[in-house]
Amino acid sequence: MKKICGINIFVLFMVLVFIAQANADQVRVSVAKSLSNLCNNLIVKFQAQHPDVKIVPNFASAGALAKQIEQGAPADIYISANPKWMTYLIEKGKIKTDTEKIFAHNALVFVGKSSTDAHSMGDLRKLTRVAIGSPSSVPAGQYAKQAMDKEGIYDEMLKNGQLIMAKDVRQALIYADRGETDGAFVYKTDAMLAVSAKILFEVPRELYNQVTYPAAMTKASDGNADAKLFYDYIVSQAAHPEMVRLGFTLP
């Protein structure tokens, strides 16, 4: 019995070692949902030069990802859709602060069917259903709320049940694209992915803070040379042509 028990413990130990080694051989990237297309394209380009490097992306709202990392979810690189959640993880001691860089910029727009009568922020009061990323965790929703607050319409529309909360910016786009809402606040780069929804107007820049994507390596990435190799690539000028092609503004 003792011999069998000893064998089982050894097998368990070897399994744990194998899992640890497998994780060490991966580059785990937690990326804001609005960057999913860009990130996937950069991964393809990077792996064309480094085919042995395995990159595992995790796409969700920046806030959800930050909470995951705080709770111990594996991540070597974190790219947020606003500085707030990067600062949050820095304060939690999860980020290698000397690696933080501005990855890209974006702009906020309002999309909907071409028949939707909305051409300015003031027109939104007339709409029945407007999709917005939940401001509690979705940066696009936070930027949209900031703009609506400055126009004095957020609290009114929320109280009247006109705002439909989405789990991330892509879900907000889907609502507008399918006609399930009259329109949605999304990033300009997301609007380019719409099938039927059109940009009805660009949100005036003075109504919200500049959309900024900060990137950094996490403290969990220590010793992962492949993670540093990939990170150095995505924050270099080599990634700029793809950023511009997809509508992002360079840092």
The predicted-structure confidence for 128-165, as pLDDT tens digits, reads as follows 999 999 999 999 999 999 999 999 999 999 999 999 99
Q: Any idea what DSSP says for residue 249? A: B
Q: Would you state the pLDDT for residue 13?
A: 38
Spatial distance between the Cα atoms of 77 and 172, rounded to a whole number of angstroms: 26
Query: Of all residues in the chain, what percent carry a pLDDT higher than 70?
Result: 90
Question: Is pLDDT at 74 greater than 50 in this prediction?
Answer: yes
pLDDT at res. 18? 35
Determine the CATH number of domain 2-105+213-245: 3.40.190.10
Q: CA–CA separation, 17 vs 23, rounded Å?
A: 10
Average pLDDT over residues 58-84: 96
**Average pLDDT of span 101-122:** 96
- 53, amino acid identity: V
The three-class DSSP label of residue 137 is coil
53-68 pLDDT, tens per residue? 999 999 999 999 999 9
Domains 2-105+213-245 and 108-202 share a fold: yes
- At residue 85, does pLDDT exceed 80? yes
With pLDDT > 90 as the criterion, what percentage of the chain qualifies?
Answer: 89
Q: 108-202 architecture in CATH?
A: 3-Layer(aba) Sandwich (3.40)
19 vs 109, residue with greater confidence: 109
Query: What pLDDT does residue 25 have?
Result: 74
Q: What is the residue-averaged pLDDT of the chain?
A: 91
pLDDT score of 22 more than 80: no
What is the per-residue pLDDT for 1? 52
What does DSSP assign to residue 218? Answer: B
Q: pLDDT tens-digit profile of 189-215?
A: 999 999 999 999 999 999 999 999 999
Domain assignments of the chain as residue spans, ordered by start: 2-105+213-245, 108-202
CB 224 within 8 A of CB 165: no
Tokens linked to 64:
């959800």
Backbone angles phi, psi at 129, to 5 degrees: -135, 120
Classify each residue of 54-68 as buried b or exposed e, where b means 16 or more C-beta atoms within 10 Å of its C-beta: ebebbbbbbbbbbbb
